[in-house]
Chains A and B, each alone.
Chain A
Amino acid sequence: MFKKLLIANRGEIALRVIRACREMSITSVAVFSDVDRTALHVGKADEAYHVGPANASESYLNIEKIIATAKRCGAEAIHPGYGFLSENPKFARACEEAAIKFVGPKPSAMEIMGSKTRARQAAMAAGVPCVPGTARGLTLAEAEIEGAKIGFPVMIKAAAGGGGKGMRVVRTAAELPSAFETAGSEAQRAFGSGEVYLEKLIENPRHIEIQVLGDEHGNLVYLGERECSVQRRHQKVIEEAPSSFLDSEMRRRMGEVAVRAAKSAGYTNAGTVEFLVDSERNFYFLEMNTRLQVEHPVTEITTGVDLVHLQLRIASGEALPFQQHDIVMRGHAIECRIYAEDPDNNFFPSPGKITRLLQPSGPGVREDSGIYEGWTVPLDYDPMLAKLIVYASDRPSAIARMKRALNEYFIGGIQTNLGLFRRILDHPDFIAGRIDTGFLDRLLSAKENGAVPVNGLSEIAALSAALFSAAAPSGNHGSSNGVMPSKAKGAASSGWKRVARAEGLRNL
C-alpha cells in the first residue's frame, strides 16, 4: 500500500479521501489555492501545499504544479476526487510519466469513455443497448437523413459535451436546421469542438446508473444501481440506492451490461455506467464516468463496501476482495446534495460566511462535508457544501429519516437548498417513486403549494426577535444565568449596527 498520497481536490471529497488515508495509515497530502488556505481539508491533511491562485485553471487544474508538488513531497499516488482533473487523460498520462500512480482507470480507458461518440461505439460493439442514433459527428445534410431514419423527436448532442451544453430537442424535421446550427456553435464555444450527433429523444426517462469496480487482475464487478432521476438542469440533487423501479432481474441485466461496457474499454478501478430508462423498462447506455461519483455513499451504505478504500487497494495492485455473488444490497439509502444556492431566488449561488452550523447525527445518518462554522465559502468554486446521506431498512423509513436529519441541519449566514429537499420528500410522486429526469423541473415550475403553515410560530419569532434585541446592546442580561454567549452577542450587536448603517440611522 502507498505510504503517501496526494489529493488533487478540495471540499468534502478531499476530506473523504483524507479520512480513508487516515484509516489506512497513509500520509495524506492536500493542495490548496490562495482562497482555500483556511479550508478544512488543509488543516485535516497530514501535509498541505499551495498550488496557485483562486482561479482553478492555475491551481486545482494546474497539472504541472500538482505533479511537481507530488514529486517534491514524495507522494507515490494521486487521488483526483471528482471534477477538476479527475477525468482528464492528459493528467493521468502526466502521472504515469512522473512514475506516480493515478488512482483511477488507465488513460486509454478514460479517452474512450471521455468521447461520447467513441464511448458509444465501444458500447455498441460490446452489445450494450444504446439510444438509437448516430455514433459520430454529422454534417447538417447527414443529420437530416439520420433524423428521418431515427424518427422525430430527436436530441442533438455535442460530441465533446456534457452538462446540457450543445443540447437541443428537435420535435420536427423543420426545426432541425436552426437547432443544428445553434447547438453546433454552442458546443464550439463550450468545448472548442462544434461536432454534434443525433439521438432518439427518450421522453421522461429515468437516470439510473450502475457502479462498477475492477482491479488490475481482470476482475470486474457491479455494485448495484443508483437512482439519480431527481435532477435540475442535468445536475443531480437527490440520489438513492436501490432504485424503486428495478427488480433483481433487471438489476442483474443492467449490471452485466455495465460490466461488459467497462470491460470493452479495459476499465479498472471505480467507474459508473449511466443509463436512461424509459417507462417500458428499456434501458440505454448514456455515458460512463471514469471516476468516483459524488453519490458513491449510497452504494457504500447499501452494499457495505468502502469504495475509496477499495480504489486505493486496487491502485496499489491488490485484487478485489470479493466476487460478484458476494455483493448483496441491504436496506435503502438516500443522499441530498447541499448546495450554497437560493432556491427561492433563481438558484443564485450564495457564497459567504457560515455564521452558524448545526449538523445532524444519530442513527442512520452520515454527513460528508467540508465546511465549518465561521468559514467563508469562496465564490470561486462550485457551490456544493456537503452531502447528507441516510440509511434505513426501507425507502419510506429512509425518507422519514432524511426529513428528521434535515430538521436537525442548519446552515446560517448563507442561502442553501436545504428547504427545497423537504418539498421534494413530501411530494406524492417522489413518495410513490414516480420520478423521471423532468420531475424536479416540473415541481419547481409548479406553484409553491402556499407558504408552509407556520401555526403560531410567528408569535414565537416575534418574541425571539425582541429577546435578541434586548440581549444585543449590553449583553449583561438576556440570559437566565447571566452568561451571554460571546458567539450570539458579538454577532448580534454587529448585525444590528450593520443594518442600522444600511438605513442611515446614526443615533446608535
Chain B
Amino acid sequence: MLELQRIKQIVEAALLCADEPLTVDLLERLFAEGECDKPTLKSIIESIEEDCAGRGIELKRVASGYRFQVRQELAPWMSRMWEDRPPRYSRAVLETLALIAYKQPVTRGDIEQVRGVAVNSNMVRALLERDWIRVVGYREVPGRPAMYGTTKTFLDYFNLKSLDELPTLPEIRALIEPIEAELAGAGPEYVEGPRVEFPTDTVVVAEEFLETDVEPRAERER
C-alpha cells in the first residue's frame, strides 16, 4: 500500500485533471495492484472534502461521480472572466438612431424612406429598451404608426444638455468629410468594426439583409 499522503495527492490530482466526474471505481483503477484499496479511497475522499472547507472549490458528488467545482457564491467574480466585450451596434441601428434624433418625431416609414431600406423592428426595439428613444405619438394614418423621438437618457449618454447641441448638417459635413477621406485611404475597419470588408455601398445592403426581418414595408405601414 502507498503512503496515505501519496494516495491523497493522486486522488486530488486525478479529480482535478479528469474531464469527467470520477467514481470510486474509476479512481481505484488508477492504482496498481496493492497500492490502494476501496475503504482507504473512501476515507481519503472524505478527508479531501473536509480540506475544502473555506476554500474556493468544493468536492461535489454528482450523479456520475465526484468532481471539484467552484463554489456557486463565487459566480459573480468568475463571470467577469467570460464577460463579453461590449457588442457594437450595426450601421443600420446607428443610422436609425441618427435619423430619429435629427428628424424626430418620425415613424419607421419615415426612416425607411430616407434610408431606402426596411427598418428591422429589432433595431427599434433595441433602442427603445436602451431608453434612447421613446414613442411620442402615433400618426393618424392607416395603421397608426408610432412616432419616435429621443429621450433624456439619450442626451445624458452623449453628454448633451439639449438636442441643439448636436452639430448641424453643414457642421457634420465639415466634421465628417476629412475623416471619410482618411478612411477611404486607411481601410474601412476604423468606423465599422470588424465586419466591413466590402466597398461601402455594398456593405449597407449586405448588412440590411443580414439584420432585417423580412417584412414587406407596404403591409406594415398601412
Task: Please say whether chains A and B are actual partners in one complex.
Answer: no
